[in-house]
Structure 1
Amino acid sequence: MQRVQTRNTLQIADRTHICSAILDCVFFQIRISFHDFLSAGHLIASHHTFNFSWIIYHNQITEILKVGIASMSDEVLEAHSSVTDTDMNTNVENKSVPSIRATIASTRKALVLSTNSVHELLVCPVCTSSMYPPIHQCPNGHTLCSNCKVRVQNRCPTCRHELGNIRCLALEKVAESLELPCRYNGLGCHDILPYYSNLKHEQNCRFRPYNCPYAGSECSVTGDIPTLVAHLKDDHKVDTHDGCTFNHRYVKSNPQEVENATWMLTVFNCFGRQFCLHFEAFLSGMAPVYMAFLRFLGDEDEANKFSYSLEVGGNGRKLTWQGTPRSIRDSHRKVRDSQDGLIIQRNLALYFSGGDRQELKVRVTGRIWKLQ
Structure 2
Amino acid sequence: MLFFTQCFGAVLDLIHLRFQHYKAKRVFSAAGQLVCIVNPRHSLKYASDGCAITQTSADQSNHRQCHEVVYDPQLTSCPCPLFSCKWEGQLEVVVSHLRQTHRISILQGAEIVFLATDMHLPAPVDWLIMHSCLGHHFLLVLRKQEKYEGHPQFFATMMLIGTATQADSFTYKLELNRNQRRLTWEATPRSVLDCVDSVITAGDCLVLNASLAQLFSDNGSLAIGIAITASEVQAQEPDM
What is the TM-score when the length of structure 2 is the normalising length? 0.63
Match of 2:91 among 214, 225, 230: 225
Shift of 1:204: 5.1
Question: Is 2:116–2:127's contact at 8 Å kept on the other side of the alignment?
Answer: no
Structure 2 Cα separation of the partners of residues 218 and 330 of structure 1 = 18
1:243 aligns with 2:109: yes
- Give yes or no for contact 1:308–1:367 (8 Å, CA) kept in 2: yes
Query: Residue 68 of structure 1 aligns with which residue?
Result: none
Instruction: Give the equivalent residue in structure 1 for 2:52.
Output: none
Q: Is the 1:225–1:298 contact (alpha carbons within 8 Å) kept by the matching residues of 2? A: yes
The answer to whether structure 1 residue 325 and structure 2 residue 184 are counterparts is: no
2:132 to 269, 285, 308: 269
CA distance 1:261–1:347, shift in 2 (3 Å): same
CA distance in 1, matches of 2:210, 2:70: 39
Gaps of 5+ in 2: 1-68, 233-240
**Offset, 1:217:** 0.4
Q: How many residues align?
A: 163
2: CA distance, partners of 1:204 / 1:301: 18
What is the CA-CA distance between 1:338 and the residue it aligns to?
1.1
Check if 1:278 corresponds to 2:144: no
CA RMSD of aligned residues (A): 1.9
Alpha-carbon distance in 1 for matches of 2:192, 2:145: 20
Deviations 1:243-302 (A, max 9, x none): 22220111226x2x53222222x1122221111011100112242111211001111111
| 8 Å CA contact retained: 1:290, 1:345 | yes
- The percent of aligned pairs where both chains have the same amino acid is 25
Equivalence for 1:155: none
Please state whether the residue corresponding to 1:278 is helix, strand or coil. Answer: strand
* Separation of aligned partners in 1, 2:117 and 2:89: 33
Contact 2:111/2:227 (8 A) holds in 1: yes
- Asked if the contact 1:304/1:324 (under 8 Å) is kept, the reply is yes
Q: Does 1:290 align with 2:148?
A: no
Quick check: 1:215–1:263 contact (8 Å CA) kept in 2?
no
Greater RCO, CA 8 A, separation 6+: 2
CA distances 1:318-340 after superposition (whole Å, capped 9, x unpaired): 21100010111111111110111
More helix by share: 1
Structure possessing the higher radius of gyration over alpha carbons: 1
Change (3 A) 1:361 1:203: closer
In structure 2, C-alpha distance between the alignment counterparts of 1:365 and 1:323, rounded to whole Å: 14
What pairs up with 1:306-345 in 2 under 5 angstroms? Answer: 306-345=170-209
Superposed counterparts of 1:65-144, under 5 Å:
none
Separation (CA, whole Å) in 2 of partners of 1:203 and 1:277 = 23
1:216-242 deviations in Å (ceiling 9; x for gaps): 303211222332211111110010122
Q: State the one-letter code of the partner of 2:103.
A: K
Shift of 1:315: 1.4
Alpha-carbon distance in 2 for matches of 1:242, 1:352 = 25
Q: What is the match of residue 299 of structure 1?
A: 163
Rounded Cα–Cα distance in structure 2 between residues aligned with 1:282 and 1:203: 26
- CA, structure 1 residues 204+304, in 2 after alignment: closer, same or farther (shift >3 Å)? farther
Of the three residues 79, 99, 118, the one matched with 1:252 is 118
Secondary structure of 1:275's counterpart equals strand
Partner of 1:369: 229
| Uncovered stretches (5+) of structure 1, i.e. residues with no partner | 1-201
Could you tell me how far apart the structure 1 residues matched to 2:122 and 2:153 are? 8
**Take 2:105 and 2:82, find their aligned partners in 1: how far apart are those partners?**
14
User: Once the two structures are superposed, what CA deviation does each residue of 1:327-372 show, in whole Å capped at 9, x if it has no partner?
Assistant: 1111111111011111122112212235xxxx42210001011111
Q: In the alignment, is the contact (CA less than 8 A) between 1:216 and 1:263 conserved in 2?
A: no
Alpha-carbon separation, structure 1, partners of 2:107 and 2:85: 22
Runs of 4+ in 1 over 6 A off after TM superposition: none
Residues 152-231 of structure 1: pairs in structure 2 closer than 5 A = 203=70, 205-206=72-73, 208-231=74-97
The aligned counterpart of 2:49 is none
Taking a change above 3 Å as real, the CA distance of residues 269 and 353 of structure 1, as seen in their structure-2 partners, is closer
Q: Which has the higher strand share?
A: 2
TM-score (norm 1): 0.41
Distance change (3 Å), C-alpha of 1:348 and 1:203: closer
Whether the 8 Å CA contact 2:75–2:193 is kept in 1: the answer is no
Listed one character per residue, the Cα deviations across residues 163-217 of structure 1 (whole Å, up to 9, x for unaligned) are: xxxxxxxxxxxxxxxxxxxxxxxxxxxxxxxxxxxxxxx94543x4221212230
Name the SS for the 1:252 alignment partner.
Answer: coil
